[in-house]
Amino acid sequence: MIAVLTAVVLPLLLAEFGDWCPWLAKRLVRWTARHLGDAAVVERYSEEWLAEIEEVPGKLSCLVVAIGKVSALPKSRWELRAQRRAVDRLVRLGDLLPTGRPSYWDHLGDSGVIYRFVHQAEACSRMVQAVADDDPRCRNDLHVLVGPAGSGKTVVLQWIYEALHQQGKEVHYLYAPRWVTSRSQSSLPLDRRSRKRLARASEDVGLLMVDEADGVTIQAVQSLRLRCPVLIVGRASDLSRRPRSTGVEFDLTPQGGGFLRHGLS
């Protein structure tokens, strides 16, 4: 009986199992690729490993290769995570958000006019002082500058930008309507990794200026949990429902006699 099993049944079982090996091997490598922890590389690794299995001679050999991929999964996940962290350290805020110094600021500087109102100078001074504060408790403060068109917001922004730049701080200017509007938030980096990269990239930023902002913009900025000071700039009517600022707040709306009012939160 044992001789019959050895001579007849066992070869049949091995042959049947051998026919299933390529199918099982493909299933294993696809499963392993899906569990690498990075959706961006799943397709690439799956294709590479499937091609590797196709080149392996023998039905059992391809299954051995697939089992090897499964057993190496923890190491592969760790290596990919280390690679992502190394790449993320090189990413700057400007690589993730459409920031940049406005070119028309150069033409404004040619006029030689720095301030038209005395409170523009005071706004600049207090903003720079607050942003330059090295106290960790002030690191993530939200500052607000409001005023109607023509009240001098752009002049204040330009001066703050240059003053902080001279101090060696990294300053970014973001034009809010180009980034996110009340009609569309598709430009927001909503996935978990992008948020982490933004938070990490913002650690070295001295100030992020968000110009022409509205309530939706503020919600978007706060949802990102950036690790740098943020200056929200816009019209008071567009920011009527803004949250209470934790930093400096100025209102450049002209009052009687041409004076400007200001305030601290």
Q: Which residue has the higher pLDDT, 38 or 182?
A: 38
Residues 57 and 97 in one domain: no
Angle at 105 between CA 178 and CA 166, to 5 degrees: 105
Residues 161 and 42 in one domain: no
Q: Phi and psi at residue 260, in whole multiples of 5°?
A: -115, 145
Looking up residue 137, the CATH number of its domain turns out to be 3.40.50
Instruction: Determine the Cα–Cα distance for residues 135 and 235; give it in Å rounded to an integer.
Output: 29
Residues 150 and 244 in one domain: yes
Distances 27 to 46, 64, 66, 74 between C-alpha atoms, Å: 10, 13, 9, 18
C-alpha neighbours within 13 Å on the C-beta side of residue 179: 24
Q: Is pLDDT above 60 for 67? A: yes
Q: Domains in the chain: how many in total?
A: 2
Residues 81 and 138 in one domain: no
Return the H-helix or E-strand segment holding 264.
strand 263-264
Among 64, 89, 114, identify where a domain stops: 89
Bridge partner list, 144: 232, 249
Q: Which of 60-64, 67-71, 77-81, 97-101 has the lowest mean pLDDT?
A: 97-101
Q: Which of 67-76, 143-152, 187-196 has the lowest mean pLDDT?
A: 187-196
Per the prediction, the chain carries an average pLDDT of 73
Q: What is the mean pLDDT of residues 114-131?
A: 68
Q: Which residue has the higher pLDDT, 50 or 17?
A: 50
> pLDDT band at residue 88, thresholds of 50, 70 and 90?
low
Number of separate helices (H) and strands (E) present in the chain: 12, 6
Structural domain of residue 118, as residue ranges?
A: 93-264
> pLDDT band at residue 260, thresholds of 50, 70 and 90?
very low
Q: What single-letter amino acid sits at 115?
A: Y
Q: What is the pLDDT of residue 27?
A: 84
Q: What is the pLDDT of residue 107?
A: 62
Among 52, 72, 89, identify where a domain stops: 89
Q: Which residue has the higher pLDDT, 41 or 19?
A: 41
Residues 229 and 121 in one domain: yes
Q: What single-letter amino acid sits at 97?
A: L
78: left (phi over 0), alpha (psi -120 to 50) or beta: alpha
Residues 35 and 123 in one domain: no
Q: What is the mean pLDDT of residues 192-198?
A: 76
Residues 146 and 235 in one domain: yes
Residues 206 and 109 in one domain: yes
Residues 30 and 116 in one domain: no
Question: Tell me: the pLDDT tens digits for 243-257?
Answer: 665 777 787 776 643
Structure tokens at 128: 């720079």
3-state secondary structure of 109: helix
Q: Which residue has the higher pLDDT, 211 or 109?
A: 211
Pair 215, 236: CB distance under 8 Å = no
Bridge partner list, 173: 209
Q: What is the pLDDT of residue 170?
A: 85
Q: What is the pLDDT of residue 146?
A: 84
Residues 223 and 162 in one domain: yes
Angle at 95 between CA 91 and CA 96, to 5 degrees: 100
> pLDDT band at residue 189, thresholds of 50, 70 and 90?
low
- Find the DSSP H helices in 167-191: 176-179
Residues 110 and 84 in one domain: no
Return the H-helix or E-strand segment holding 138.
none
Q: What is the pLDDT of residue 132?
A: 72
Residues 193 and 118 in one domain: yes
Among 54, 89, 124, identify where a domain stops: 89
